[in-house]
Structure 1
C-alpha cells in the first residue's frame, strides 16, 4: 500500500487508506451486532419501550427528551408497534449484512438505531454511541463495494485501497474514543495511586469470574491500571504514523482485541466489548486480508454454486441512494465534493464536541456554545467516552424488591418471590436479566433520577399480579443494600436504603391504564 502513496500528500494519506475488504468485514460485523442488539432489546419490548413499562411516553418527554431528537419508536406506546419496528430494523440489518441495496440499508438502519436509542436513553451505554457512529460513517464508506450482493453483478474494483474524507473520519473516530476515554480518567486512582481496577473489581454488580481471579493481587491490579491508562492515551498515535502502516495497524488491532477480550471475562459490560472489537475491523491491512481470503477461498468456491436470487425491488427515484447508472464525470466531481465537504465538516464538529467534553482540555470554560449542540443531538453524532471516569463508581450494592403479601409475608421479587434475605447474593450480576437492566438500575440510584422510581415500582407490581399463581401483594419497597467500596480490601457494612415504596392500584385503575395504553 505504501508504495502506491508517494510524495508529500501521498505520505500524509497513508494512515487513512483502507482496504475495501476490511470495510466489507466492518459492514458485516456491524450488521451482526445490530441484530444481536435488537435480539437483546426485544426481550423487553413492553418494559423499556411501551407505555405500560418503566418509561411511558409522557414521562420520556417530560424528563429526558430534547427538542432536536426524533424517534419513530416514540410514535406509539403499544408494545405491538415496537415489535413491528424491531422486525423492520432486523430485516434492514440482514440486508446490510448481505450488502443488498447497501447504502439504503445503512441509512435506514442508522435511522432506526437512533430511533430506538432515543426512545429510552436510561438504558444506554458507551457502546451504543460507537455503534451509532459506525453506521453514521458507514453511510459515506464504500463498504458494499466488495463481498456484497450488490457487487455480484459489478466488475471487480481496479484497486482495493481506498481513501476519502470518510476513511479519515473513521480512523479519527477510533482514536478519539481511546484518547477521550483516557483524558476523562483524570482522577488520582488512574493517574497516581493505580487503584482504579481494584475499585472496578470491587463492584459486585460488574464482577465476572476473571475479575475474581485478579482481584486478590493488588500489585498486578496496579500495573494493569497504569497499562490501561497509558495504552488508551498513547496507542492511538500509532494509527497516524505514515511509515510501516500495516505493522502499526496489526499491533493496534491485536493489542485492542486482547484488551477487550480481557474486559469481557472480568467485567459485565454487555455488548460494549463486542462493539469495540467490531469497530477495529476496518483497520485490517491488506496482509491480514490476503491471509483471510486465502483461508476462506475453499468455502467461497463451494458457495459459488449457490444460485439463489433476491428480488430486484426497483425503488422509487426519491429513495434511490445507490447508483442506477454511471453519472457523468462532471456530476461525479460535484457529488464527491459535496460528500467530502459534508463529512469533513461533520468530523470537525465531532472533534469539537469531544474537545468540549474533556474538561482537562478546556480549563477556562466550555468550548461549544449551547446553540451549536443542535447538530449533534439531531444527527446523534454526540458522544461521551467516560468509562470509569473521572474515577470509578464506588456506591456498590444490590437490590431487594421487598414485597409484602396479603398474609404478611415478605418476599423478594428480584429473586422470583423467594423469602426476603438481606445477605449479599453469591453473584450480584445474576440478579440482572441483561446489561440494559443493569444500566437502568445504575441510573435508578442517582438522586437526579428520583423521578424514575415510582414508575419502576408500579411496573414491578403490575407484572407480578399478571400471573394468577402469584400471591397478592399489599406493598412493595425497592431497597438498595448500599455497600461502599473501601480501600485496602476493607469491607463496608451494607446500609439499607429504601428508594421507593408503592401499593397496588385498584383493579379498575389498572384496567383503565391498559385501555389507555391500547
Structure 2
C-alpha cells in the first residue's frame, strides 16, 4: 500500500472512529455507574419487600383479601406461574420474602451478581403475579430494571465478585463476557445492546409519559401539580407542608413537563449536560418520595437515573470514598478467597461462554420490542393482530397522573361493629363514632391498600369483595381483642358482628362528597 493509500484509509477510518466514540459516550455506561446502579437496585428491592411485608398476610396469603382461589379466577396465568401460590400460609410467604431479601443484599454487595439478579427477578415477578391488584407503574419499572440489569456487567466494579477475580478494572475478561462488548480503555464504558436497553428503557418511560400528559387539559394549563397536592390520600411525610401557592405549583407543573420533554437529552447529550439533567430528574424524584405516597415509584425512578451519570462524576465519587472503599476491599479480600484455578473450566465454562454470547442478541431483541411496544401504547404504531388479540397496549402505558390527575380525593370507611354496638375502624383499629358520617372517612393505610380497594368502588365484584370482608372481620377481631392500634381493645364485648366497607370520594374543587358502598359482610361464627 502506498503512502497515499494509507492516508486515504486513515481518513476514512477517522469519521468511523468518531462515530463509534460518539455512540459510546451516549449509549455506553461507565462500569462504576453500573456498580452504583446495582447497589441502588438492591436497596430499592429491600425497601419494596419491607413495605410489602407490612401487609404480608393481607395481600399474599389465604387468610388475606386475595386467597389463591380468588387469584386463580381473576388471573389464572399468574396463579399458575407465581411461586408465592405454592402455599397460602404466612410462614411460607415470609420465607420467600427472606430469600428475596437475601438475594437483594447479595445484589447490592455484588456477590454472585448475575445469580443474585436472576433470583431477584424471578421472585419479584412471582410476588407481583401473586397480587396484581396492588401494583402501580413503579412496580413495572422495577421489574424491567432488574431484567435489564441482569444483562449488564453489574458486578464488574465495586463488588465482591471483582475482589474475588482480583480484577477491579472495567475491561477485564469477565466484564467482556458479561456485557457482550466492553468499550476500550480510552472510553472506559460498557457499550452494546444491553447498555443501550437499560438507558433506552428510562428514556422511553419519560417520553411516553410526556406525550400522555399533553393529551390532557390540566398539564398544559399548568394546574396538574396543584390538583395532585389537593389529594390528601397522596400526601407523603411532607405532603401537607407544600405551600398552596398557585403560582409556585403552576411553575412546578411546567417545570416537570419541561424535564420530561428534555429527557431525550439523557441519550442524545453527553458530559455535563447529561449529568445536569439526570441530577435534576433524580432530585425531583426524591422530592416526590418525601411529599407523595406513591409506593416505590419515586425511589425506583431515582435508581434508574444512576447509569446516566458520566465518568467525571464517578471520578469524584471515588476520590471522596477512597479511604472507606480501601478498607472494604481489604475486608472482602480477607473474607472471600479468589476462585481456584480449575473453577470455570470444562462444560460449565462452555455453557457460560455460550450464554454470554447470547446476551447481546437477547438485549437487541428486547430493545426493538421495547420501542415497538411503546409505539403501540402511544397509538403511533398499529398493534398486530396477534398482539391485539391478547392485550390492548393502550391500556398499559406510562400514564402516571396522565392525561390528567384525579379531581376526586379517594378516602375509605371500613367499619366493624361489635356485639354490644361499638364500632371499630377495621383498617386502623381505633374506635369510631356510632353513626359514622362520610366526613369521618380516612386515607388508605398504604398506597397498596388504595390500589386494591379503589377499583372495587366502581366494580364491587363479589368474588373479590367477599374475601376482603372476611379478612377485615379477622383484622377487626384482632383489634378488638387488644392486639391492634388505638383503644379498640377497651371495647366491651369484642366479638365482631359485621364489617362494612365504603369508598368515599370528595371533589377537590367544590367539596361534593360521594359514597359508594363496596360491601357489607357478617362476621358471625369467625
**TM-score when scaled to structure 1?**
0.84
Q: Equivalent residue for 2:367?
A: 347
Q: Aligned with 1:400: secondary structure?
A: strand
Cα contact 2:498–2:524 (8 A) shared by 1: no
Alpha-carbon offset, residue 262 of structure 1: 2.6
Q: Equivalent residue for 1:150?
A: 161
Cα separation, partners in 2 of 1:74 and 1:146, compared to 1, 3 Å: same
Q: Equivalent residue for 2:319?
A: 294
Aligned residue among 62, 80, 91 for 2:73: 62
Q: Aligned with 1:151: secondary structure?
A: helix
Q: Equivalent residue for 1:514?
A: none
Alpha-carbon offset, residue 230 of structure 1: 2.9
Deviations 1:347-375 (A, max 9, x none): 1112222122224x35xxx4243448889
Cα contact 2:35–2:158 (8 A) shared by 1: yes
1:95 maps to 2:106: yes
Cα contact 1:129–1:383 (8 A) shared by 2: no
Deviations 1:47-90 (A, max 9, x none): 11111101011111111343797211112211111111111111
Cα contact 1:444–1:450 (8 A) shared by 2: no
Distance 1:415 1:59 in 2: 25
Q: Aligned with 1:396: secondary structure?
A: strand
Q: Aligned with 1:185: secondary structure?
A: helix
Aligned residue among 109, 121, 125 for 2:120: 109
1:309 maps to 2:347: no
Deviations 1:284-340 (A, max 9, x none): 2110101000000111233344255258999xx9xxxxx82599x999997655321
Q: Equivalent residue for 1:456?
A: 468
1:483 maps to 2:506: yes
Distance 1:415 1:239 in 2: 44
Aligned residue among 493, 502, 507 for 2:521: 502
Distance 1:305 1:479 in 2: 59
Aligned residue among 407, 414, 424 for 2:420: 407
Q: Equivalent residue for 2:179?
A: none
Cα separation, partners in 2 of 1:14 and 1:460, compared to 1, 3 Å: same
Distance 1:165 1:31 in 2: 23
Distance 1:375 1:341 in 2: 26
Q: Which runs of 5+ in 2 are unaligned?
A: 1-13, 172-184, 483-488
Q: Aligned with 1:183: secondary structure?
A: helix
Q: Equivalent residue for 1:52?
A: 63
Written as runs of structure 1 = structure 2, the 5 A alignment for 1:310-389 is 310=336, 324-325=344-345, 337-359=357-379, 361-362=380-381, 366-371=382-387, 384-389=397-402
Cα separation, partners in 2 of 1:443 and 1:180, compared to 1, 3 Å: same
Deviations 1:404-446 (A, max 9, x none): 22223334334423122436469x45x51x3222322333333
Aligned residue among 127, 137, 143 for 1:132: 143
Q: Equivalent residue for 1:438?
A: 450
Alpha-carbon offset, residue 239 of structure 1: 2.0
Q: Equivalent residue for 1:230?
A: 258
Cα separation, partners in 2 of 1:477 and 1:340, compared to 1, 3 Å: same
Alpha-carbon offset, residue 505 of structure 1: 4.1
Distance 1:39 1:277 in 2: 18
Cα RMSD of the aligned pairs, angstroms, is 3.3
Which region of structure 1 is more displaced relative to structure 2, 5-14 or 454-463? 5-14
Alpha-carbon offset, residue 187 of structure 1: 4.2
Cα contact 2:496–2:524 (8 A) shared by 1: no
Using CA pairs under 8 Å that are at least 6 residues apart, name the structure with larger relative contact order, 1 or 2. Answer: 1
Alpha-carbon offset, residue 213 of structure 1: 4.4
1:24 maps to 2:47: no
Aligned residue-pair number: 480
Cα contact 2:426–2:499 (8 A) shared by 1: no
Distance 1:269 1:92 in 2: 25
Q: Equivalent residue for 1:77?
A: 88
Alpha-carbon offset, residue 6 of structure 1: 3.5
Distance 2:450 2:71 in 1: 19
Which region of structure 1 is more displaced relative to structure 2, 266-275 or 101-110? 266-275
Which region of structure 1 is more displaced relative to structure 2, 137-146 or 36-45? 36-45
Which region of structure 1 is more displaced relative to structure 2, 452-461 or 180-189? 180-189
Cα separation, partners in 2 of 1:326 and 1:227, compared to 1, 3 Å: farther
Cα separation, partners in 2 of 1:217 and 1:267, compared to 1, 3 Å: same
Q: Equivalent residue for 2:8?
A: none
Written as runs of structure 1 = structure 2, the 5 A alignment for 1:172-191 is 172-191=200-219
Distance 2:80 2:209 in 1: 25
Deviations 1:360-400 (A, max 9, x none): x35xxx424344888999xxxx9631111222122323212
Distance 2:389 2:153 in 1: 29
Q: Aligned with 2:322: secondary structure?
A: helix
Q: Aligned with 1:502: secondary structure?
A: strand
Aligned residue among 221, 243, 263 for 1:193: 221
Distance 1:142 1:333 in 2: 14
1:250 maps to 2:266: no
Cα separation, partners in 2 of 1:238 and 1:71, compared to 1, 3 Å: same
Cα separation, partners in 2 of 1:311 and 1:86, compared to 1, 3 Å: farther
Distance 1:247 1:66 in 2: 46
Q: Aligned with 1:419: secondary structure?
A: coil
Q: Aligned with 1:404: secondary structure?
A: strand
1:167 maps to 2:187: no
Cα contact 1:481–1:497 (8 A) shared by 2: yes
Cα contact 1:201–1:215 (8 A) shared by 2: no
